[in-house]
Amino acid sequence: MDERVYELLNDQMKKELYSAYLYMSFADYYEDEGLSGFANWYMIQAAEERDHALIFRKYLLDNGKSVQLKGIDQPDKTFSNHLEPLEAALEHEKYITGTINDIYTAALEAKDYRTMKFLDWFISEQQEEEDNAEKQVSRMRLFGNDAKALYDLDQENAARVYAVPSPLANA
């Protein structure tokens, strides 16, 4: 495997684990705010991010590469209203989309078609994650100032259930 592609895949594991850590901090904020549905949403999001890291880990191991676990930063977000974590999540997902695109570009340049194919799942996943994050932002902007509507949004988020991502389910 091309050295740069390898490094980027390895770094992505850390970024996905940081995403899990970040979303857990959002869940903690919402728990403190009494919005346990939003907390549920972000704990499931955190579980998905950990799974994303495991998918990269498996890909490296399946391709005979060693895994290098690197240090994970402390999330430094503090929030002053219910909208801010949702906006931070959208911004973060766009950043992660950029990092996936960077690996794809490196794989293309290295003619590493296998890695490009592997990344296809993540490219679709990022579109879904950005869509979900955008939906959370717009619904909070529209309805977040109304107590009954906020309660309903919280209930909706409470209904989210964890599902194993297909690359791990089929592993």
Integer Cα distance of 72 and 110 in angstroms = 28
Residue 60 or residue 150: which is nearer to ligand OFO going by CB?
Answer: 60
Q: Is 19 a residue that touches ligand OFO (CB under 6 A)? A: yes
Closest alpha carbon to 77 in 13, 27, 131:
27
Please state the three-class secondary structure of 146-160 as a single string: CHHHHHHHHHHHHCC
Contacts (CB under 6 A) with ligand OFO, residues 92-151: 93, 96, 125, 129
Contacts of 80 (CB under 8 A, 6+ apart): none
CB of 120 to ligand OFO, least distance (A): 14
Residues 21-80 close enough to bind ligand OFO by CB under 6 A: 49, 52
Closest CB to ligand OFO among residues 93, 112:
93
Binding residues for ligand OFO, rule: CB under 6 A, are: 16, 19, 49, 52, 93, 96, 125, 129
